Chains A and B, each alone.
Chain A
Amino acid sequence: QSVLTQPPSVSGAPGQRVTISCTGSSSNIGADYDVHWYQHLPRKVPKLLIYGNISRPSGVPDRFSGSKSGTSASLAITGLQAEDEADYYCQSYDNSLSHVVFGGGTKLTVL
Chain B
Amino acid sequence: DAGVIQSPRHEVTEMGQEVTLRCKPISGHDYLFWYRQTMMRGLELLIYFNNNVPIDDSGMPEDRFSAKMPNASFSTLKIQPSEPRDSAVYFCASSDLAGVETQYFGPGTRLLVL
Chains A and B form a bound pair:
no
Residues of A within 8 A of B (CB): none
Chain B residues in the interface with A (C-beta under 8 A)? none
